[in-house]
Chains A and B, each alone.
Chain A
Amino acid sequence: MSQVTFKNVSKEFKVNKGVSSWAVKDFNLQINHAEFVSFLGPSGCGKTTTLRMIAGLEENSHGQILFDQDVVSDPLQKKFLLPEKRNVGMVFQSYAVWPHMNVFDNIAYPLKLKKMSSQEIKKDVMAILDLVELAGLENRKSHELSGGQQQRIALARGLVMKPRILLLDEPLSNLDAKLREKMRKDIREIQQRLNLTMVYVTHDQKEAFQMSDKVVVMNQGHIVQVGSPQEILNNPVNEFVADFVKN
């Protein structure tokens, strides 16, 4: 049973009267439980839009998106589950750490909304802080921390809510090379330890191949190739993939 299913999903933008452009077109994909899937492609290929459609931050204009067997978005049935009801975690490229809350409050926020008791919240937050190696920093002002630490707060906030799926939108692109290398390993390790489904958006082929179970190569709103890193490296379906993968 797949955890997220895309059936002929498209996202259309009306540019002018009668003229439209497609951010994503005829997207079909299954994302399985506990799988690490990367969307790989040049900027503007539709990978972030696809990710935001899983979160419910964008609404697809055609097709269906399913979580397990449940339809979460289908414009024909006028069905659309709001992002706050989806229990999906997300790590943003810009971190999106709330500057007016300290580290603890940032991470505790989703739990407070679930009306958990403050003791439970404390226990869960502390456990997650350990996991992302931020233990001891819970009372610090979040916007005073380094970029790498802020990214860990964002990761912790996404994990603490025990999401059905965690989405990561180029989370490492603002970090320096050395830190990026360590974060890649840490994220993959956490994913395997928690047996969590993750969807990861990147334009860095090395990153995608190093971390993923499945890589989805995209270009101009279309899927070009889906497969394990090995398959794609050994058998690129066309020149675009071969060229993109080569470097």
Chain B
Amino acid sequence: MKKAFYILCLIIVIGLFIAPLGYLFFVPSLSDLFAVLQNENTLKAAKNTLVVSTLVSIFCLLLGLPLAWLITRTDLPFKNKWRSLFCLPYAIPPFVGAIGWIILANPTSGVLNQWFGLNLNIYTLAGLVFVETSFLFTFVLLTALTVLDRMDSSLEEAARLSGASGLRVFKDIGLPLLKPAIISGFILSFLATAASFGIPALIGGPARIYMFTTQIYTYQRMGTSNGLQMSIAVSVILGLFTLGLLYVSQKFFGANKNYTVSGKTARPSFIPLNRWKIPITFFLSALFTIIFILPIFGLLLSSLSPVQGVWNFASLTLNNFTRVLFETEETARAIYQSFILGLSAAAICTTFSFFFNYFTYRTTWKGRQWAQLAISIPFSTPGTVLALALILSLSQGYFGLGPSLYNTLGLILIAYVIKYSSLSLKTIGDGYQQIHPSLEEAARISGAGWWTIMRTIYFPLLKTAMMASVFLVFMPVVSELTMTILLTGPGLETIGTLIFQLQEYSDMGGGGASVLSVLVVAFVLSLNLTLKILSKGRYGL
């Protein structure tokens, strides 16, 4: 039975995680690729993607690293509060933030422009880079925090006793030891920018700054076979570029050891900020207000304003909420379908990971390592590329077999499962590693078979990890946009696509997108808080 389960898992991995994505790369011929590479639009998209991603990842480093260092190593007041606050943008779908910034800083009726007589224009390269950075710096922050938390603090204490003061310790010890984190943080934020769709579509579109992802979307929306062909070719280029960069970073930096020797010191000594304490606290408050509170304030204001573009507190009303929530049938359908999709995806990913991790961490069977890798690849692959791969291989049945999945929720569900299994796998895998194998051995000696062991030993012990896995998959899925927008069809609205369509095509005057965005932010933040409380602080931001 154990073996049969393992073989079933491997078949799923090959059939869903490897075959569709692999197939995509063989669809366009070399001449198709060359043709699309000579296309002026593609070249422009390539240039924009490179420029935007490079700028964003540089700013992410400049923002994320000092922040991580301040939070872990200095006597900054309210460190833990700052930590949770600055990690929050990670939980919020970036396109929601983009809508917030469009309300605040669009050139015709931006709130900030109106109220303070400014001349801000979010529809520019600078605006695009700014909004991307304000979300993606969390990639660098979270990576750096993990390394700094695990780094033996006596390495830095030894430097202080040698006579080095605050910044010198950071330069001589902290920074070199963070090098692997810096490089991987840079690559992560670079890839995340290159893969992002919502922000480039909403802000880059009006600015006529097309990136690979938005170019693919435009081609695919043309609805012609030529358009589809072009979008496939561009996807292959973006996919190859992503996987190539991942491979290079693995090859050159993967072996780079994270020096995290036994952190014996329970409470490291903190570097005193002295007279900088107040200016830094002030600066952090201002920073957090700008990158997080302002856009949410913009959304809130817009959702409560009867006329978009006329911004004041006098006429606030809940009319937008009642109209969007109760007077259109799309909204109810979108919320219902997003929940069904989110819960199903979370349940499937978690169940699969519960079993698959057993084989990874408790057996030495062949194939488990490459299967693990194969599951992690779709997570790093841009959603746009993945969605196109699925359209190609699954829309006429599975590679031509069985019923067509095109224009069904099933296809969207499969996309979510493939993309987000990696989150589940990692969360539950960490859980397995904390369970000593002797617990299973003791059960076996008592006469329990494999199924009984899974049921009576691993399931109860992994409950918290599995609950976290359900949350961690559900949260991004419930407002997913990048893949859904390519896979959706008539009647298949989700929360993400509905917000996008309200913002892009209809209801420009009605604040409908803002209403749903406010609800998504509130919902995701409270889910995150629930997870944190239920897991006693072990999971969640």
Q: Which A residues are closer than 8 A to B by beta carbons?
A: 52, 55-58, 82-90, 92-96, 98-100, 109-110, 113-114, 143, 154, 157-158, 161
Contacts and interface: CB of A to CB of B under 8 A. Distances in A.
A85 B161 CA distance: 8
A92 B165 contact: no
Given A57-B269, A98-B173, A92 B154 contact: yes
9 contacts: A57-B160, A82-B165, A89-B161, A92-B157, A92-B264, A96-B157, A99-B177, A99-B259, A109-B162
Given A92-B154, A94-B152, A94-B263, 4 more contacts: A57-B161, A84-B160, A88-B161, A96-B157
B157 A83 contact: yes
Nearest to B274: A82
Contacts of A89: 161
Contacts of B77: none
Contacts of B159: 98, 109
Nearest to B262: A94
B399 to A, nearest CB: 50
Given A94-B262, A143-B259, A110 B154 contact: no
B155 A98 contact: yes
Contacts of B3: none
A94 B264 contact: yes
B508 interface: no
Contacts of A58: 269
Contacts of A96: 152, 154-155, 157-158
B441 interface: no
Given A88-B161, A109-B159, A110-B162, A99 B168 contact: no
Interface in B145-173: 152, 154-155, 157-165, 168, 172-173
Q: Give the size category of B's interface with A.
A: 20 to 34
A154 B158 CA distance: 9
Residue in A56, A93, A98 whose Cβ sees the most chain B Cβ within 10 Å: A98
B163 A94 contact: no
User: Shortest 6 CB-CB distances between A and B: which pairs?
Assistant: A110-B162, A96-B154, A57-B269, A113-B163, A96-B158, A92-B154
Contacts of A84: 160-165
B522 interface: no
A100 B161 CA distance: 18
B274 to A, nearest CB: 10
Residue in A57, A82, A87 whose Cβ sees the most chain B Cβ within 10 Å: A57
Nearest to A93: B264
A161 to B, nearest CB: 6
A96 B153 CA distance: 8
A90 B272 contact: no
Interface in B162-212: 162-165, 168, 172-173, 176-177, 179
A95 B259 CA distance: 13
A92 B168 CA distance: 20
Residue in B152, B154, B161, B176 whose Cβ sees the most chain A Cβ within 10 Å: B161
Residue in B160, B163, B262, B263 whose Cβ sees the most chain A Cβ within 10 Å: B163
Contacts of A56: 269
B8 interface: no
Contacts of B176: 100
Contacts of A114: 163
Interface in B131-155: 152, 154-155
B276 to A, nearest CB: 15
B154 A94 contact: yes
Contacts, number: 80
A161 B158 contact: no
A106 to B, nearest CB: 9
Interface in B255-314: 257, 259, 261-264, 269, 272
B158 A90 contact: yes
A90 B269 contact: no
Contacts of B272: 82
B256 to A, nearest CB: 11
Contacts of A87: 163
Nearest to B156: A96
A143 B165 CA distance: 24
B168 A83 contact: no
Nearest to A90: B161
A86 B164 contact: no
Contact of B172 (A82, A92, A93, A109): A109
Contacts of B160: 57, 82-84
B370 to A, nearest CB: 30
Given A94-B262, A98-B155, A99-B177, A86 B161 contact: yes
Contact of A100 (B157, B164, B177): B177
Contacts of A109: 159, 162, 164, 172
Interface in B204-227: none
Contact of A83 (B161, B179, B263, B264): B161
Contacts of B162: 84, 109-110, 113, 157, 161
Contacts of B259: 99-100, 143
A57 B177 CA distance: 21
B157 A94 contact: no
A94 to B, nearest CB: 5
B285 to A, nearest CB: 25
A206 B263 CA distance: 27
A114 B161 CA distance: 12
Interface in B53-92: none
B157 A157 contact: no
B156 to A, nearest CB: 9
B324 to A, nearest CB: 46
Contacts of B157: 55, 57, 83, 90, 92, 96
Contacts of A55: 157, 161
Nearest to B163: A113
Contact of B163 (A52, A100, A110, A158): A110
Contacts of A98: 155, 158-159, 173, 177
A82 B160 CA distance: 9
A199 to B, nearest CB: 13
Contacts of B179: 100
Contacts of B161: 55, 57, 83-84, 86, 88-90, 158
